A and B are shown apart, each in its own frame.
Chain A
């Protein structure tokens, strides 16, 4: 980056972002109806990588843009307005920040450049069939064998594992220890012998998540992040990043734009009840943006996120759902269509409604977030 973007005024910054998108974003990738696979979004990933725009939140010394919280939010809004598709971003959003904080120098030197170059595409192997909300109940095991771990077990709901060439894993390294205390955090290449990926079709009728099976998979011990048996602490810190990401107003802002377009098309603005409902949703989005900005600032100051970040995830995901519920209510019979209305990708109430469903399930379900809020923030007994 030749320009110091943080030095611009917000208005100037937005003009730069808009010009960047107009010059660089592939027209055919605007507003894709479903999440794109790597084969379709890699062009854009590589463009971001080449131009230095891939990692807005990473510090400059690690190859990021080092943008302030306010700038990151403005950037997200402009990307949103342009209909920019999500990339395979686990490396950018999770692995990078994690290694910057907890990785060894060798791990940073090896992995960060590969993420920045689009060579390593990551997926997240936490959940198992028997360990979802109760993540610490995981059973995938790693047994020591010289300078390797031998991993056996199964992960499930692994988003875009079918695109990834690396997976970050939680595994049990001490079966005798208390639940949280025998877990380690490993980085594993997906082409290691013994790994099998089976895609699962989701409610969008899309192969977006997968099962991943491990059969005597050998992983170098150097690929452990943090101390052995302390993986739970590492993972918990990553959950903070995940929650702030999932609490980003992006999805709700996108959905509200779609609700507006649909309301125009359906002539819903004449209905006072709808206008009031819309305005309530809009205000909630503005409040969410303000709250989100305060959490992003905590991260930028390098301070630890508290359990109260769970609020963001709850508000964002439920707002997203409320907006899509409103879409279904005004769409009339169109609410039942499989494809977008009139072939217009921006008018697809049923598609967005289905896309909004899992947001209250993944990243720690909203029930679990409320448990965290009531116990760890409010200090209620139990």
Chain B
């Protein structure tokens, strides 16, 4: 990247962070998040509309198609900010769908009129997007699971043997079973029986990559904020007549957590920069896997320790550390667990001797 291009990117990352902060105030109030938990659909449609007005689901979409044609750096900055504020709106899956739609369908999604979410997964711990689902003759038959925030979707992009298809929520033969998730959202299991659909041309496998990387960035925001809360607590909570942060055991713990946050940030930013600079194929897969593997493990570690270091109050629902832990529990294994991404990294990274 030239110096001028890099300055532009820094400037647009800053702008994105500022506008995200308006919706998901970092260090702000979690009342909005709490009020939406365990309710249908798990997020605020009004806020989703605002996010669409800001052009967020179209961040990576070409300008000719109504998007802003920004890069992974901007997308990751946005996701990180939303993670810090625990925003439940389904930006990552909707952005994934945006890469698979075109024309009027895409325009309706970007305008916030029609929420389309991808349904690609058939078993846990897998990035296989095809599975046993059959798409043929304008009909879909099969079963997809773990569709985040399915409760709020108007339509689904479905992948299977025979390609990719768009299915309306109310289509005959589609039944949706919802399960609540620890963070207060939901996963949908979709069963299709000869369900009418329209064919699409997109590539579900390719669309998973930005989603996996943005999830790593979101987790970075989650752990960064959980760490900040904890650091504050170490400075303010007193026992034995001293701030607990003065005990060396806790000082070392905090230093170790900071190292994990820093490693995650480095991994996410380097993957985003590599992809923006044109990395493709095995190189891009390895970069995304490195970021996601670290983010998943580090987010669990940091949020677990946030509970531990808060003591009894950390184990209450009224204190905020638990909200961050629950978010990490839901997102760490989404779009591939740490172990899955380590294996994928090993299969795609360049030989160490090179």
List A residues at the B interface (Cβ < 8 Å). Answer: 127, 130-134, 137, 156-157, 200-203, 205, 209, 266, 273, 325, 328-339, 350, 353-354, 357-358, 360-362, 365, 367, 370-371
Known: A133-B311, A203-B325, A361-B314. A336 touches B333 (CB 8 A): yes
Q: Judging by beta carbons under 8 Å apart, are B318 and A201 in contact? A: yes
Q: Which residue of chain B has its CB nearest to the CB of A333?
A: B146
* Closest-CB distance, A323 to chain B (whole angstroms): 14
* Closest-CB distance, B207 to chain A (whole angstroms): 18
Q: How large is the interface on B (under 10, 10 to 19, 20 to 34, 35 or more residues)?
A: 35 or more
Complex alpha-carbon distance, A236 and B244, angstroms? 23
Known: A335-B329, A336-B334. A370 touches B182 (CB 8 A): no
Sample of 4 further A-B pairs with CB below 8 A, known A203-B325, A329-B337, A337-B187: A201-B318, A329-B339, A336-B331, A357-B308
Contact for B315 among A325, A361, A367, CB less than 8 A: A361
Q: Judging by beta carbons under 8 Å apart, are B317 and A203 in contact? A: yes
Enumerate B314-354 residues with CB–CB distance to A below 8 Å: 314-318, 322, 325, 329-334, 337-339
Complex alpha-carbon distance, A78 and B218, angstroms? 45
Contact for A156 among B312, B317, B330, CB less than 8 A: B312
10 contacts between A and B (CB under 8 A): A200-B318, A334-B124, A335-B333, A337-B179, A338-B182, A339-B180, A354-B182, A361-B307, A365-B311, A367-B250
Enumerate B210-267 residues with CB–CB distance to A below 8 Å: 238-241, 244, 247, 249-250
Q: Judging by beta carbons under 8 Å apart, are B179 and A203 in contact? A: no
**What chain A residues lie within 8 Å of B99 (beta carbons)?**
none
**What chain A residues lie within 8 Å of B249 (beta carbons)?**
367, 370-371
**What chain A residues lie within 8 Å of B181 (beta carbons)?**
336-338
Q: Judging by beta carbons under 8 Å apart, are A134 and B317 in contact? A: no
Q: Judging by beta carbons under 8 Å apart, are B312 and A337 in contact? A: no
Question: What sequence of 0s and 1s flags, for each residue 133-163 of chain B, a beta carbon within 8 Å of any chain A beta carbon?
Answer: 0000000000001100000000000000000
Q: Judging by beta carbons under 8 Å apart, are B182 and A202 in contact? A: no
Enumerate B280-335 residues with CB–CB distance to A below 8 Å: 300, 304, 307-308, 311-312, 314-318, 322, 325, 329-334
List B residues at the A interface (Cβ < 8 Å). Answer: 38, 121, 123-126, 145-146, 179-183, 187, 238-241, 244, 247, 249-250, 300, 304, 307-308, 311-312, 314-318, 322, 325, 329-334, 337-339
Q: Judging by beta carbons under 8 Å apart, are B322 and A203 in contact? A: yes
* Closest-CB distance, B119 to chain A (whole angstroms): 13
How many pairs of residues, A versus B, come closer than 8 Å at their CB atoms?
115
Q: Which residue of chain A has its CB nearest to the CB of B336?
A: A332
**What chain A residues lie within 8 Å of B240 (beta carbons)?**
133-134, 137
* Closest-CB distance, B234 to chain A (whole angstroms): 12
Q: Judging by beta carbons under 8 Å apart, are B304 and A331 in contact? A: no
Contact for A328 among B145, B329, B334, CB less than 8 A: B329
Complex alpha-carbon distance, A137 and B239, angstroms? 8
**What chain A residues lie within 8 Å of B300 (beta carbons)?**
325, 328
**What chain A residues lie within 8 Å of B339 (beta carbons)?**
273, 329
Residue from A131, A133, A335, A354 having most chain B Cβ neighbours under 10 A: A335
**What chain A residues lie within 8 Å of B241 (beta carbons)?**
134, 137
* Closest-CB distance, A97 to chain B (whole angstroms): 25
Q: Judging by beta carbons under 8 Å apart, are A335 and B315 in contact? A: no
Q: Judging by beta carbons under 8 Å apart, are B333 and A358 in contact? A: no
**What chain B residues lie within 8 Å of A357 (beta carbons)?**
304, 307-308, 314-315, 325
Complex alpha-carbon distance, A357 and B126, angstroms? 28
**What chain B residues lie within 8 Å of A339 (beta carbons)?**
179-180
Complex alpha-carbon distance, A370 and B316, angstroms? 24
Complex alpha-carbon distance, A127 and B315, angstroms? 14
**What chain B residues lie within 8 Å of A334 (beta carbons)?**
124
Q: Judging by beta carbons under 8 Å apart, are B247 and A205 in contact? A: no
**What chain B residues lie within 8 Å of A329 (beta carbons)?**
337-339
Residue from A132, A156, A266, A371 having most chain B Cβ neighbours under 10 A: A132
Q: Judging by beta carbons under 8 Å apart, are A202 and B121 in contact? A: no
**What chain A residues lie within 8 Å of B180 (beta carbons)?**
337-339
**What chain B residues lie within 8 Å of A203 (beta carbons)?**
307, 315-317, 322, 325
Residue from B38, B329, B337, B339 having most chain A Cβ neighbours under 10 A: B329
Q: Which residue of chain A has its CB nearest to the CB of B332?
A: A335
Complex alpha-carbon distance, A46 and B244, angstroms? 44
Contact for B316 among A131, A202, A328, A367, CB less than 8 A: A202
